[in-house]
Amino acid sequence: MTKWLVFLLAAGLAAGCLASARLDGGGDEQAKTRRGRLRALGLGVALLVIAVCVIRFLRAQSRPVAHARGSSFALSATSSSSATLWLVLAILAAGVLVALRWRRALWIVSAALMAAAGYGFVRARDYGNAALYNTVFHAAQPMAVAIPRIVNTAGRAPSPAHRLALSVTLKHATVGFSLPVLSSVVPANNVMSYLVLPLTYAALLLGGWLAWRALDGRSAAVRLVVGKMAEAKKQGRHWGILLLPAAIVTAELLAPNIWFGPGAANIGWTVALVGGTLLLIRRWPVVAAWLATAGLAALGLAGLYLAGSWDSGRWPLPLTPDGSVFYGAVDVSSHAMIYPATVQAVALIALACWLVPRTMPATLRLLGTGSQAELATRVRRLAESRAAAADTAAADLRRLERDLHDGAQARLIALGMNLRAVERLIPTKPEAALALVAEARETSARALTELRELVRGVHPPVLADRGLADAVRALALDCPLRVETDIDLPGRPPAPVETACYFAVAEILTNAAKHSGAREAKVAVSHAEGMLRIAVTDFGVGGADPANGTGLAGVERRLATFDGILAVSSPVGGPSIVVLEVPCALSSPKISSC
Amino acid sequence: MRVVVAEDLFLLRNGLVRLLEAHGFEIAAAVDSAPDLLQALLQDEPDVAIIDVRLPPTFTDDGLRAALEARRAVPGLPVLVLSQYVEQLYARELLAGDAGAVGYLLKDRVFNDDQFVDAVRSVASGGTVMDSEVVAKLLGRRSREETLARLSAREREVLELMAEGRSNSAIAQRLFITEKAVSKHSTSIFAKLDLVPSDDDNRRVLAVLAYLNG
Ligand SMILES: Nc1ncnc2c1ncn2[C@@H]1O[C@H](COP(=O)(O)OP(=O)(O)O)[C@@H](O)[C@H]1O
Ligand SMILES: [Mg+2]
């Protein structure tokens, strides 16, 4: 009977989530999409599961049976009316939360998962003395005594029953909360309890991922981290982060009692290990990525050796007091466990192999196995950029032809006609002829101006004369902004690269003058390790986006012909930084100009 | 007045020579490459040289570089540099050193032979002549916007002509005002731009150009 009520409510919750998502989803834009609805549903179910776990746990606690670790996690079929009431309330709360504040629901789910993971670690590692579990569990005790006193400022002495209730609640709220989540998925069966660790890792990953999603660009700090990660990813330096799990697993393998068991080390070890690893990752991301790859491979090999040597007892590293070995997500404590350990070892080796081309491209090239896929991508990119270059060149020629046809050519025709008229007028009306001659001179001057502009557009003379360095200086001088230049080019890039870069800088400076509202800009040109790098910075309004115009997109296309790239960083409010990088070699040292 | 002409295109070289001779100049040498030019400048010691920027052997800015080199050897050697296009970068290089006696003009300016000949004479006598395109770009700088906004429209016109290197009388003629009015405007401009006034035409041009370039 009560079970039916619960099912009914659960169905109602699901339907309510769907409906609320359809009906504007509590004002959240994302909730209107199909994904949003699915998410609402998933969150509702997750919250429900958590609620069920908490209630079951509370019930188990309220029974006088001492709650020993791993004693009974099975769902009890009986249900008291008060538990049903709790459940109903929980379902209603979950529904309301998902409908109105799905982000907060996401938070709760992820926090629950993390807490479950924390508990899972304690459970998996806490053999024999239950020290850690008890420590955390009883940490709540003093609070349980203190808080009722603070709450009861009215002077009413808290009744013993009141105090007991609060103490129990607080205990559950701290550590106990995570217990039921895990216990509901891990039966107390002995073999299956080996799953605690893998499940714990899964819960940790899922919880972390959800928390990440919940944060998603909300706070400035997260944006900073995301930005840093994106930057690292862009430079292919993000694999270093894998060093953190590799280091932790290695530390556990080498010193099983480092965190758990008798003589578990204090928090200092954790800080030293995690902090040191993070520092290494941040300071030397490339080295960290290398180490992570090598470390994962080594862990994999160690796992294979462990599996092979377990039965003969030749494993050289220290064991836990239980006589087992902590190997990542697998605790090797008996012959049966060498199979999951082997699986994990192979997976780690596979992961390391997969990482090698990503973290050690140079090594790969050394081995002469520059992968086929890489070549294929490159060929495709070259084909694309070549087609774009050919299109651009054709369009440029067409434009040139039209400009000449409508401009200089037309003016020369007019000039010829003018002169012919002058010829006729001279004998009869010399003053009129004089006026026409002045006009002819004007026309030829204008034709010259137009031709000059055309020539600048095709190939700027100063670039031909002096090369990129001085041409960029000339651009800086021509720009209405005050442009500071910092140019360090010991030679000249190939002519086509020079031209492309010149027009790129011209476009970027024109943009700065046209859109940014800045008074000053900076241009830095340098060449290092086979890469020409130009950075143009202005301190204007920001908001530059190649997608909003033709100029920057054109520059991007033109640079692509040379495997060059254009990167725009222009947050609203500025500053705008446009960086272009083109791989190229510099030819003979600069002939000193003047 | 003895002139060296350096221009590689036969048609233009001939045209220049004819124009100059028609205005009473004496052609000391008419050369068509940078090495010849350098030799002519250092040996013939002309009163003024008219030099095309682009010359053999490399057909880049050889003419300009020869001119700069000659001026390093003989400071203040009067050179008038002509080109199909003007670059502020080159203008700066020519102006560097404050020696005066330089000119930098678009080739188109020979269309108006009177003004062109005035420019040649001005350079020969130690003056500075800048093309109006260079000056217009200098005045268009945003960093100078505020101070230049203090000038009246007329003062701006006067400033522009002053920067091109024209004398008071030339400016007066051009703007249809009296010379006295021009000098009044120029005093006012110098006051507004916080420049030290100067009666010497050449000092004045250099001060204005230095200010605009700064
Ligand atoms: N330096 C800048 N500061 C602010 N906004 C910029 C800047 N550069 C470009 N933008 C913005 O980015 C858009 C794209 O630029 P671009 O591709 O050059 O097109 P456009 O032809 O409009 O210049 C511009 O329309 C402008 O709104
Ligand atoms: Mg643009």
Contacts with B85 from chain A: Cβ below 8 Å: 452, 455-456, 461
Any A CB within 8 A of B86 CB:
no
Task: Give the residue-averaged pLDDT of A375-391.
Answer: 83
Task: Give the residue-averaged pLDDT of A508-520.
Answer: 92
Q: Which of residues 58-77 of B touch A (CB under 8 A)?
A: 60-61, 64-65, 68-69
**DSSP β-bridge partners for residue B3:** B27, B48
Q: Strands, E, within A101-207: which ranges?
A: none
Closest C-alpha residue for ligand 1 atom 1: A512
Q: Is the shortest distance between the CB of A87 and ligand 1 below 6 Å? A: no
A178 confidence band (pLDDT: 50, 70, 90): very low
Is the pLDDT confidence value at A23 over 80? no
Task: Give the residue-averaged pLDDT of A475-485.
Answer: 91
pLDDT tens readout for residues A202-220: 888 888 887 777 665 556 6
Any B CB within 8 A of A517 CB:
no
pLDDT tens readout for residues A231-261: 666 666 778 888 888 998 888 888 877 766 5
**Most A CBs within 10 Å, among B85, B105, B131, B139, to test the A interface:** B85
Contact assignment for B87 to A445 by CB distance below 8 Å? no
| DSSP per-residue codes, A299-364 | HHHHHHHHHHHTTTT---SPPPTTS-EEETTEEE-SGGGHHHHHHHHHHHHHHHHHHHHHH-HHHH
Q: How far, CA to CA in Å, does B30 sit from each of A19, A223, B4, B47, B107?
A: 92, 69, 6, 14, 17
Ligand 2 centroid distance, CA of A574 (Å) = 17
Contact assignment for B84 to A474 by CB distance below 8 Å? no
B24 confidence band (pLDDT: 50, 70, 90): very high
Angle between helices A81-100 and A102-125 (to 10 degrees): 130
Contacts with A441 from chain B: Cβ below 8 Å: 111
| DSSP per-residue codes, B44-106 | H--SEEEEESS-TTTTSSHHHHHHHHHHHHSTT--EEEEESS--HHHHHHHHTTS---EEEEE
Indicate if the alpha-carbon torsion angle B85, B90, B92, B94 is positive or negative.
negative
pLDDT tens readout for residues A122-145: 666 654 344 444 554 454 444 444
Any A CB within 8 A of B143 CB:
yes
pLDDT tens readout for residues A304-352: 998 888 888 888 888 877 778 888 878 787 787 788 889 999 999 999 9
A19 confidence band (pLDDT: 50, 70, 90): low
Ligand 2 centroid distance, CA of A553 (Å) = 9
- Chain B's closest residue to A594, CA to CA, is B65
Contact assignment for A456 to B85 by CB distance below 8 Å? yes
pTM, 2 dp: 0.57
Ligand 1 centroid distance, CA of A574 (Å) = 13
User: What atom in ligand 1 is closest to the CA of residue A578?
Assistant: 1
Any B CB within 8 A of A318 CB:
no
pLDDT score at A8: 67
3-state DSSP helix/strand/coil percent for chain A, to nearest 5?
A: 70, 10, 20
Query: Could you tell me how many residues make up chain A?
Result: 594
User: What atom in ligand 1 is closest to the CA of residue A510?
Assistant: 23
The partner residue sitting opposite A477, judged by closest CB among B61, B89, B107, is B89
Task: Give the residue-averaged pLDDT of B172-178.
Answer: 92
Contacts with A519 from chain B: Cβ below 8 Å: 142-143
All domains of chain B in start order, with CATH: 2-138 (3.40.50.2300), 144-212 (1.10.10.10)
Task: Give the residue-averaged pLDDT of A452-458.
Answer: 87
CA distance B159 to chain A (A): 18
Task: Give the residue-averaged pLDDT of A542-554.
Answer: 90
pLDDT score at A127: 47
| β-pairing verdict for A325-327 and A330-332 | antiparallel
Count chain A–chain B contacts defined by CB atoms under 8 A. Answer: 58
Ligand nearest to the CA of A574: 1
DSSP label at residue A155: S
Contact assignment for B142 to A482 by CB distance below 8 Å? yes
pLDDT score at B102: 94
Contact assignment for A520 to B54 by CB distance below 8 Å? no
Any B CB within 8 A of A456 CB:
yes
CA distance A581 to chain B (A): 25
Peptide bond into A340 cis (omega under 30): no
The partner residue sitting opposite B143, judged by closest CB among A464, A482, A593, is A482
